[in-house]
């Protein structure tokens, strides 16, 4: 009983702490927005923007310790040239490309709504006073164009019959006889940009290398919640080491935390619902790197050698995925890309749960809220035998309530004798006091996995349910579901046997109120799941309890 009381007290204190955090977030001092000087550091800070020139750094030289190649003509030209923005559009995205380095400056997702303002489209990549998130590439080598070098349009952007858009850029200020072309090919039916380089006239027998990186600030995306925190940082995948997350704080401390060299995999930036990742072709040696650029900016990228052509031309193409974390589509693009929807150690359970949820939505109903209800009912039916065993144990404990109360009155504050007497009573009545806990423990991983499925699925984003619930990924605007959740928890508490310890009993009465406040800030889809689960549990528990109480009453009459 002492350990159980401690658990409930800890849960209650944690709830109060998180409520306090939320109050500070809402009414406390606001975090200052990054200044223009800080965001401009992407261009003006000369180190450490890219790895050393030439080929990929040796294993003894970590990428984060290297510096830019000599500035030379490209850097001077970049400072003096006038930057232009080229805007292109496909059915899925609207993009701005800068003539400085051919940088992907802004990417607007035309089929995703903004988190805070549903009347606008969601902008993933951007460079503004409040956000820095860019796609940058460059070629390594003295005089070669980095992401700061000047480029010029090599003709107007073209659109083919399928709606694919191609932008060709030519590097300026190169050594005599050297020509470098950069191409960005936007696929019409995917959130993919194929970024290519073609180098001619380079007098070298060793293959030049190119880098492909994402640069962004550490600020959480708009609408990020402390109540349901999600990962915001770098992700790396290789077949050997699988999915690895690298926090911005670890990068700032110089901790690599990921595979450096590999012949497969991808690297990118992950935030709630969205992903940007470079997807080099398999069986190509590459080096991944992460680094802190200062002013709260971080870069994550990959270095790859170019491939030689028969006419002395060097080429390379690396796709960039920048869009929503739609699991089925991610899996088709690159091995392991689906793990960007991070379920942690419960992936093996969460993956089939998401498949079941999406199948219900696709084949049964076209409403994610109804799909959540149906899946919760199916899971409850699957665990019905275990739940029944648990509720039977709790019902027996409830029937034994009067006898336990007599023991409490008989032994008073003598806890040792009270505990011994209770154990004897349980033995006589053939009751296992842990019988109500063990079946529930078995179900916990499944319900936690479903929780993460609902939290991490971009399909829930701006998905309406019914009446006032217009977005299952946002909190209930009128707090109706959290209130129902609290009421259901109170009913469940009253159906359970009252703990013999008075302090524990008081904590149990307070918990529904504390958790109701906690759920005020949860996404409506998660609260809907808990409400349905609680209602089904109440119905099952009430039926079993009434059945056992009726049997006990009939036995007493005989």
What sign does the CA torsion over 359, 321, 299, 120 have?
Answer: negative
Residue 65 has pLDDT above 60, yes or no: no
Q: What is the mean pLDDT of residues 458-466?
A: 90
Residue 511: its pLDDT value, please? 76
Predicted pLDDT at 52 = 35
Angstrom distances, CA of residue 315 to CA of 145, 171, 196, 374: 14, 15, 7, 52
pLDDT higher than 60, residue 179: yes
The values of phi and psi at residue 125, to 5°, are -95, 140
pLDDT at 29 over 60: no
CA distances from 226 to 17, 236, 460 (A): 12, 24, 19
| pLDDT tens column, 338-385 | 999 988 788 889 999 999 999 999 998 889 999 999 999 998 888 887
Our CA dihedral for 122, 100, 167, 128, rounded to 10 degrees, sits at 10
The pLDDT of residue 497 is 64
| DSSP single-letter state for residue 346 | G
Q: Mean pLDDT throughout 297-304?
A: 96
Query: Which token pair is 80?
Result: 């003096």
What is the per-residue DSSP string for 4-43?
HHHHHHHHHHHHHHHHHHHHHHHHSPPPPPPPHHHHTHHH
Which pLDDT value is given to residue 414?
A: 72
Using one digit for the tens of pLDDT, what is the confidence trace for 85-119? 999 999 999 999 999 999 999 999 999 999 888 88
Tokens 């290519």 correspond to what residue?
196
Whether pLDDT at 23 is above 60? no
Identify the CA nearest to 299 among candidates 276, 282, 283: 276
Mean pLDDT value of segment 442-450: 81
CA neighbor of 547 nearest in space, from 495, 478, 503: 495
Domain 47-342: give its CATH code.
2.70.98.90
pLDDT at 4 (0 to 100): 38
H helix or E strand, kind and range, residue 304: strand 297-305
Question: Could you tell me the residue ranges of all domains in the chain?
Answer: 47-342, 350-553
| pLDDT score for 557 | 61
- pLDDT tens digit sequence for 115-173: 888 889 999 999 998 899 999 999 998 889 999 999 999 999 999 999 999 999 999 99
Whether the pLDDT of residue 514 is over 80: the answer is: no
- Statement: residue 486 has pLDDT above 70: yes
Kindly report which listed range (13-17, 44-48, 118-122, 541-545) carries the lowest average pLDDT score: 44-48
- Confidence band (pLDDT; 50, 70, 90) for 72? very low
- The whole-number pLDDT of residue 386 equals 73
Within its chain, how far is the Cα of 405 from the centroid?
49
Write down the residue that tokens 């006032």 correspond to: 468
Count of CB atoms within 10 A of residue 329's CB? 16
Residue 13 confidence (pLDDT): 47
User: Mean pLDDT, the chain, as a whole number?
Assistant: 80
Q: Looking at residue 519, what is its pLDDT? A: 83
pLDDT level of residue 76 (50, 70, 90 thresholds): very low
For residues 180 and 199, the answer to whether their CB atoms sit within 8 Å is yes
Higher pLDDT, 17 or 359: 359
- Please give the pLDDT value at position 269: 97
Of the ranges 72-81, 155-164, 496-505, which is most confident? 155-164
Return d(Cα 293, Cα 296) in angstroms, integer: 7
């Amino acid at each position: 009983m002492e350990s159980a009381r401690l658990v409930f007290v800890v849960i209650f204190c944690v709830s109060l702490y998180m409520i306090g955090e939320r109050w500070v977030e809402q009414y406390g001092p606001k975090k200052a927005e990054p200044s223009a000087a800080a965001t401009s550091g992407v261009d003006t800070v000369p180190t450490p923007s890219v790895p050393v020139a030439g080929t990929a750094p040796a294993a003894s030289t970590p990428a984060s310790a290297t510096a830019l190649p000599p500035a030379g003509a490209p850097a001077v030209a970049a400072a003096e040239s006038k930057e232009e923005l080229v805007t292109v559009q496909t059915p899925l995205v609207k993009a701005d490309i800068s003539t400085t380095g051919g940088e992907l400056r802004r990417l607007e997702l035309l089929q995703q709504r903004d988190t805070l303002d549903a009347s606008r489209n969601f902008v993933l990549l951007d460079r503004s006073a409040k956000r820095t998130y860019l796609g940058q590439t460059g070629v390594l080598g003295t005089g070669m164009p980095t992401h700061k070098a000047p480029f010029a349009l090599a003709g107007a952007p073209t659109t083919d019959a399928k709606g694919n858009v191609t932008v060709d850029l030519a590097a300026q200020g190169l050594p005599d006889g050297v020509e470098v072309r950069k191409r960005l090919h936007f696929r019409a039916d995917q959130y993919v940009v194929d970024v290519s380089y073609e180098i001619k006239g380079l007098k070298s027998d060793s293959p030049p290398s190119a880098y492909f990186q994402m640069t962004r600030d550490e600020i959480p995306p708009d609408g990020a919640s402390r109540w349901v925190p999600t990962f915001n940082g770098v992700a790396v995948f290789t077949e050997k080491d699988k999915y690895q997350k690298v926090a911005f704080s670890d990068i700032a401390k110089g901790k690599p935390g990921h595979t450096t060299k590999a012949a497969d995999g991808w690297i990118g930036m992950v935030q709630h619902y969205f992903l940007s990742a470079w997807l080099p072709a398999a069986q190509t040696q590459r080096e991944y790197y992460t680094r802190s650029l200062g002013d709260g900016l971080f870069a994550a990228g990959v270095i790859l050698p170019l491939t030689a052509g028969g006419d002395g031309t060097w080429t390379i193409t690396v796709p960039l995925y920048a869009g929503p974390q739609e699991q089925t589509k991610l899996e088709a693009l690159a091995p392991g890309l689906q793990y960007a929807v991070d379920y942690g150690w419960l992936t093996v359970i969460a993956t089939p749960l998401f498949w079941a949820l999406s199948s219900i939505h696709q084949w049964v109903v076209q409403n994610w809220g109804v799909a959540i209800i149906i899946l919760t009912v199916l899971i409850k039916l699957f665990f019905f035998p275990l739940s029944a065993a648990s509720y039977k144990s709790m019902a027996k404990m409830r029937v034994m309530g009067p006898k336990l109360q007599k023991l409490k009155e008989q032994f008073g504050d003598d806890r040792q004798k009270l505990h011994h007497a209770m154990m004897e009573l349980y033995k006589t009545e053939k009751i296992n006091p842990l019988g109500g806990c063990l079946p529930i423990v078995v179900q916990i991983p499944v319900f936690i996995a479903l929780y993460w499925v609902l939290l991490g699925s971009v399909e829930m984003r701006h998905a309406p349910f019914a009446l006032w619930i217009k977005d299952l990924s946002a909190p209930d605007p009128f707090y109706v579901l959290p209130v129902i959740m609290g009421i259901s928890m109170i009913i469940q508490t009253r159906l359970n046997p009252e703990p013999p310890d008075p302090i524990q009993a008081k904590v149990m009465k307070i918990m529904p109120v504390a958790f109701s406040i906690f759920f005020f800030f949860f996404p409506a889809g998660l609260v809907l799941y808990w409400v349905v689960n609680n209602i089904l549990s109440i119905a099952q528990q009430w039926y079993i309890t009434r059945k056992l109480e009726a049997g006990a009453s009939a036995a007493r009459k005989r």
